[in-house]
Amino acid sequence: MPYNAFKPPAIIRNVHLQNVLSTSSLRRNLLARNHQQFIAEQKTVILEAGNGVKLSADLNAPLKASNRKLAVLLHGWEGSSRSAYIISLAGKLAANGYDVLRLNFRDHGNTHHLNRGLFNSTLLEEVIGAIEFALDEYNYNNYVIAGFSLGANFALRYGLRNSHLAKPASAIFSVCPVLDPAHTMISLESNWSLYEQYFVKKWKRSLEAKLEHFPDYEFKDDLKNMNTLKQMNEYFIPRYTGYKNVETYFKSYTLTGSALALLNTPTLIVTSKDDPVNPYSDFEKIAKPEKLEVLAADCGSHCAFLKNMQLDSWTDDVALEFFRTS
């Protein structure tokens, strides 16, 4: 269906400025002010995800279960349930009648103590398990999924499993999904160095937090000498993911080629042709079944899409309209 085009003011159109502003303290402060009541009413809950795994989430809902629709939001790598883009969309949806569950992946959102094992991007089963637990615990039958970046990849994989679930989602919204992790890693390593160093710093900080709770892990000394994503991937993937090398690990959650061919849930992918993290060429290499729509803006950077000088997000509007009509 047609959506309003993304046309930001020229002064904030630049790809890097969009990214910087989208995660800036200025925007976080604006979101905190604009969604003050929403944030004050959030409740942190622990979800049983199966096999002893526990995941944390922030829930905004009435004290007792209602017949309202639930929106489940999935953040990106090294983000959290309280990332700016998550709060922005969550607040928008809540203001329009949705209850909202903002899930934290394992080892995200200061939850390193909940599980001994390290996070990796193949842990879809525990994400499904946590969502199923929440649906049953809080008595929801009608829900949608929205994800950003790596969370958008999880959302698409959830969609592939959706028709086999006891309670399937009614729609999937995916913003700037990682489609080919190997290509995404090349982009991070070859574009503006700030991007790679941002993730190196955050990943190392996360692993250091893991060591505080599980000091018997043996990577403490090795971690100190790692300064690139390539070094970290080549060290941690064969040791802690169950995959023998980086290549097979990345392939396990790659979504190009025919991977999305059996997607049978109304799904909208939103991306930007100037995304510095995910090459736009990857979006031209995916299967496009009848219920999948791809909306590609000329600009918007990576999960930014700031539409005005108030730093509001265009994707929030698109998500609301998509869910309304799905």
Counting every residue, how long is the chain? 326
First to last CA, the chain: 10
Token code pair at residue 198: 């941002």
In the structure, how many helices (H) and strands (E) does the chain have? 12, 8
Catalytic residue selected from 108, 183, 302, 316: 302
Per-residue burial over 149-176, b = 16 or more CB atoms within 10 Å of its CB, e = otherwise: bbbbbbbbbbbbebeeeeeebebbbbbb
Under 8 Å between Cβ of 311 and 30? yes
How many C-beta atoms lie closer than 10 Å to residue 264's C-beta? 15
Q: Does residue 149 have an active-site annotation?
A: yes
DSSP conformational letter for 119: P
Distances (CA, A) of 177 to 119, 158, 210: 18, 13, 26
Which position among 99, 107, 275, 282 bears the catalytic label? 275
Catalytic residue among 22, 81, 149, 174: 149
**Active-site residue, 75 included:** no
Residue with tokens 């970290």: 232
Measure the CA–CA gap between 48 and 133, rounded to whole angstroms.
Answer: 6
- 275 catalytically annotated: yes
**Which residues, 6+ apart, have CB-to-CB distance to 254 below 8 Å?**
179, 180, 181, 182
Q: Which residues are catalytic?
A: 149, 275, 302
